[in-house]
Amino acid sequence: MTAPNGCPVSPEAADFDPFESAYQLDPPEALRWSRDQEPVFYSPKLGYWVVSRYADVKEIFRDNQVFSPAIALEKITPVSQEAQDTLKRYNYAMNRTLVNEDEPAHMERRRALMESFTLDELKHHEPMLQSLTQEYLDRIIDKGEADLVDEMLWEIPLTVALHFLGIPEEDMDTLREYSIAHTVNTWGRPSKEEQVAVAEAVGKFWQYAGKVLEKMRQDPSGHGWMKYAIRMQKELPDIVTDSYLHSMMMAGIVAAHETTAHASANMFRLLLENREVWDDICGNPALIPNAVEECLRYSGSVAAWRRIATADTRIGDTEIPKGSKLLIISASANHDDRHFENPDDLDIYRDNTTDHLTFGYGAHQCMGKNLARMEMRIFLEAFTRRLPQLELVPDQTFTFVPNTSFRGPEHLWVRWDQRQNPERRDP
Ligand code: HEM
């Protein structure tokens, strides 16, 4: 078997399947052979070139002219006719947002819409996030056992996402179903039957986004990224277009919600699996921001991203023809020992942790990174203070929604002896 550049496909490359359990359970481990032997390879099962080393992944993120982000939200599994018809019934017309827009349109929009992400603006969300976190913790604190994902880590980032966008907090459960459908629709491998159900949910999500937008247009005053974008549309109608606003409403919910929910679940799992690190941050909360960053490096919620080559080019020693699709595995890059010393150690004192590529890099680097960091920090501050004795329920099996990119356990069972709660001993 040969790759599109005429080179033979190695047996490991021929076997690679990101929808199988090795990659789902541990992406950096599943790509170790590639980092060591074949850092750029063609995957015939996927029809993509896969890139696994830090320097290559970073360079691809950096050069958004040769490596266009246009396919970042393309469905990775071809859609059946029936599913396409279903989407058509809902007038589904997801267009470019920011993340998959080329220059110069991308940078004009990014600049026009940046204000809501400044640290000063983000401060508006902190009191709400603090009280929400305490409220959810109050609900479980005397139970002694909880599924952190179901009982907290899914809903709080969703509420924060809606707050950030300026959307009223309603239809939470429906939105939860919709956003999972969006992930499967974009990065998953649904069967033919599943595709239709997924398309139904995605179509409803699209319509919902449109309705909320219409409501907001009637009064776009006040805080919220979408409201701000509607106001900016009046000033810059050619840059902030109608189609963009509708797509942004839907993509914005997913970008802000699932990424952060998964990152938080990964973080709790990882810290509780590394007890000495957990105990360190309980003893010294000033270490929490470092711990957040190291968890984002070690077990980020976005494992891989996509680009398409706009010209014949090379990545390292590998020739890549124009039009090639690339799956760049940031989770693997973050464990590359060419860049991170002892990358498989969770080390919250590491001095180059923030070099990780979980938020991407360059012109498209995640705009919401500081909001995500703030959420993760506040969760840790609350838990290390109120439940330092927290531990994982032993022998649980972690499951993941099979897809290439968004990664976090569907459930995370933790337990604690409620008689040891610091606030019971010292109310
Ligand atoms: C873009 C990851 C949270 C909004 C991105 C990209 C990644 C990413 C990988 C693409 C970067 C690139 O192409 O170079 C994450 C992770 C998060 C997170 C891991 C949580 C831990 C958020 C939040 C928001 C957000 C909370 C919104 C409030 C965006 C936007 C873009 C983006 C608007 C597009 C930026 C552009 O193309 O210019 N994010 N994200 N993200 N993210 Fe995030």
SS3 of 13-62: HHHCCCCCHHHHHCHHHHCHHHHHHCCEEEECCCCEEEECCHHHHHHHHH
The pTM of this model reads 0.94
Order of all β-strands in the sheet with 325-328: 40-43, 48-51, 325-328, 305-309, 67-68
pLDDT confidence of 427, banded at 50, 70, 90? Answer: low
| pLDDT for position 171 | 65
pLDDT 10s digits, 106-160: 999 999 999 999 988 898 899 999 999 999 999 999 999 999 999 999 999 998 9
The DSSP code for 370 is H
Q: Is 166 left (phi over 0), alpha (psi -120 to 50) or beta?
A: left
Fold of 79-298+339-425: Cytochrome p450 (1.10.630)
CA distance 191 to 60: 31
374-419 pLDDT, tens digit each? 999 999 999 999 999 999 999 999 999 888 889 999 999 999 999 9
Query: DSSP 3-state assignment of 85?
Result: helix
Distance, CA of 311 to CA of 322 (rounded, Å): 4
CB 321 within 8 A of CB 4: yes
Q: Residue whose CA is closest, atom 39 of ligand 1?
A: 366
Residue 194 pLDDT > 70: yes
DSSP assignment of 241-271, as one string? -HHHHHHHHHHHHHHHHHHHHHHHHHHHHHH
Tokens linked to 334: 């973050």
Beta-sheet pairing, 48-51 with 325-328: parallel
Average of pLDDT values for 333-359? Answer: 98
Q: What is the pLDDT of residue 172?
A: 67
- If you take atom 14 of ligand 1, which residue's CA is the nearest one? 360
**What was the pLDDT predicted at 355?**
98
Give 18-62 pLDDT, tens digit per residue: 998 899 999 999 999 999 999 999 999 999 999 999 999 999 999
Residue ranges covered by each domain of the chain:
79-298+339-425
pLDDT number for residue 357: 98
- What residues line ligand 1, using a CB cutoff of 6 Å? 61, 69, 98-99, 110, 164, 255-256, 259-260, 263, 300-302, 305, 358-362, 364-368, 371-372
Determine the 3-state secondary structure of 207 from DSSP.
helix
Q: What percent of the chain has pLDDT over 70?
A: 97
pLDDT digits 0-9 by tens, 74-91: 888 888 899 999 999 999
Tell me the pLDDT band of 201, cut-offs 50, 70 and 90: confident
The complex's ipTM works out to 0.99
Minimal-distance CA residue to ligand 1 atom 6: 366
The whole-number average pLDDT for the span 273-279 is 98
Residue 192 confidence class, pLDDT cut points 50, 70, 90:
confident
